[in-house]
Amino acid sequence: MTHPCSFEHDRELERHTINGDVDVYDSLRDVYIGRLVNIHTQGLMIMGDISLEEDKLYTLDLHVPEPVNGQSVIHLGVDCLWTREADLAGKFWMGCAIIDASPQSTDTIRQLVEMMGDIF
């Protein structure tokens, strides 16, 4: 499966650390995955209690603490690119490429970054 953007291009995009609690759920299984760590319009990183599987597609719901762009939940289709065990016992880092997002969801990500994000 080829991705619409290369890994090198992804790394050129500014990633934004989210200062606030944005909970991430696997919407198909209705399972809590973890918290959003950083995001840009083509990818995101999660720290979670359970690990997603690499090279697998997921439908994620990002629950924002207050409505952004009229949305309390951002719906995204993602491809899990990598997972790593975190230093914290039982926690995992996960990096995902966003492969399916509505124009409204993309706008909401941009507004979320403006409201809650720091560039790193």
The CATH number assigned to the domain holding 59 equals: 2.40.10.220
Q: Cα separation of 13 and 19, whole Å?
A: 19
Of the two residues 44 and 118, the one the predictor is more confident about is 44
If one counts every other C-beta atom within 10 angstroms of the C-beta of residue 114, the result is 10
Q: How many domains does the chain have?
A: 1
**What are 54-96's pLDDT values in tens digits?**
999 999 999 998 898 899 999 999 999 999 998 877 899 999 9
pLDDT (mean) for 12-35 = 82
Is 2 contained in some domain? no
Does the residue 93 lie in any domain? Answer: yes
Distance CA 64, CA 61 (A): 9
Please tell me the pTM assigned to this model.
Answer: 0.81
User: Which domain does 45 fall in, by range?
Assistant: 7-119
Residue at 104 is within a domain: yes
